[in-house]
């Protein structure tokens, strides 16, 4: 009887472990589907395929800890190809055969010799940009209830994300126009491992998503919700906003090539030029909006 109880306890612990892992993975999958539609399903599977040197389970551990990872390797492996791990790098924990855990590091946390195709990454931007412009753009965004934060938890192939968050009036009355209604605030995360021009291009792109209404309507009526657009249509608008803003501020991007690839097979009729120009104007103004 005592042995049965031990077995039952062990089985219960395994189920709890399964439920914890299931919750983490499925939440990421749901967020990916909400953002990218059916493309999110393919992205999840392709991520696992890309890391075919790892077990499927370890590939998913990488996906949970560092979404957008390009290449991962041990400290010794990076050193063997002429790159070293930065002192403030955050390791990725995976399971090791016949042992507890191993530590891997993502390419964005390394420096040294160039990787094949590294300079061709369409996410990366170049040019001279004053840090003041970046800071002022973030401060102006905050006045629109857009909170910008930098994170080191994204891999080199994920530049940033934007999301809308509904806040109940009792938890955030200070920013609610009506105490009896919810308000929507927006959060943008930017990959802190990228250079300043790339972070600015990312910020402009994600602000384009917010100001074009792709993640929800503004609580004060400054833009409507336009969530009905599909992923490719939203990307066209947001990238056009980023291209305009970056081009006018001396930041060189590969937006034109990206836009050309996006517009090959999509319906452009729902695209709003007004929404894009209005969004670009908000990004570029770098001044807080005037309250009426």
Q: What pLDDT, in 10s, does the model give residues 189-207? A: 999 999 999 999 999 999 9
φ, ψ for residue 77 (rounded to 5)? -65, -45
Q: Which residues contact 265 (CB under 8 A, 6 or more apart)?
A: none
- Is residue 127 domain-shared with residue 256, that is, in the same domain? yes
Tokens of 43: 């992205």
- Is residue 18 domain-shared with residue 53, that is, in the same domain? yes
Of the three residues 73, 97, 119, the one that is the final residue of a domain is 119
pLDDT tens figures, 9-61: 767 666 776 676 667 667 766 766 666 666 666 676 777 778 878 888 888 88
- Is residue 40 domain-shared with residue 93, that is, in the same domain? yes
- Is residue 140 domain-shared with residue 269, that is, in the same domain? yes
Of the three residues 119, 137, 154, the one that is the final residue of a domain is 119
pLDDT of residue 34: 66
In a domain, 290, yes or no: no
- Is residue 8 domain-shared with residue 146, that is, in the same domain? no
Measuring CA to CA, which residue among 42, 38, 36 is closest to residue 214? 36
In a domain, 292, yes or no: no
Angle between helices 196-211 and 273-285 (to 10 degrees): 130
Of the three residues 96, 119, 142, the one that is the final residue of a domain is 119
Tell me the residue range of the domain where 179 lies.
121-285
In a domain, 30, yes or no: yes
For residue 1, what pLDDT band results from cuts at 50, 70 and 90? very low
Number of domains in the chain: 2
> How many angstroms from the chain centroid is the CA of residue 121?
16
**Do 204 and 182 form a contact (C-beta atoms < 8 A)?**
no
- Is residue 108 domain-shared with residue 131, that is, in the same domain? no
- Is residue 135 domain-shared with residue 236, that is, in the same domain? yes
């Amino acid at each position: 009887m005592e042995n049965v109880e031990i077995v039952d306890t062990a089985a219960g612990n395994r189920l709890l472990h399964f439920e914890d892992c299931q919750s983490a993975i499925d939440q990421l999958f749901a967020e990916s589907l909400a953002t990218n539609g059916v493309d999110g399903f393919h992205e999840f599977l392709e991520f696992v395929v890309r890391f075919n040197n790892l077990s499927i389970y370890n590939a998913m551990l990488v996906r949970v800890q560092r979404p957008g990872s390009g290449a991962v390797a041990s400290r010794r492996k990076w050193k063997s190809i002429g790159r070293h791990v930065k002192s403030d790098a955050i390791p990725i924990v995976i399971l090791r055969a016949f042992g507890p855990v191993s530590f891997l590091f993502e390419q964005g946390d390394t420096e040294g010799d160039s990787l094949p195709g590294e300079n061709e990454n369409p996410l990366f931007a170049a040019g001279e940009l004053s840090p003041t412009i970046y800071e002022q753009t973030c401060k102006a965004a905050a006045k629109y209830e857009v909170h910008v934060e930098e994170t080191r938890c994204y891999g080199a192939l994920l530049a940033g994300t934007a999301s809308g968050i509904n806040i109940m009036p009792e938890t955030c009355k200070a920013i609610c126009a009506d105490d009896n209604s919810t308000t929507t605030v927006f959060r943008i995360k930017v990959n802190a491992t990228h250079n300043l021009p790339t972070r600015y291009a990312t910020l402009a792109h994600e602000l384009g998503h917010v100001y074009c209404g792709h993640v929800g309507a503004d609580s004060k009526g400054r833009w409507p919700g336009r969530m009905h657009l599909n992923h490719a249509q939203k990307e066209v608008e947001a990238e056009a906003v980023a291209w305009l803003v970056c081009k006018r501020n001396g930041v060189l991007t590969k937006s034109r090539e990206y836009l050309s690839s996006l517009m090959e097979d999509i319906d452009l009729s729902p695209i709003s030029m007004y929404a894009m120009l209005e969004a670009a104007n908000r990004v570029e103004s770098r001044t807080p909006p005037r309250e009426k």
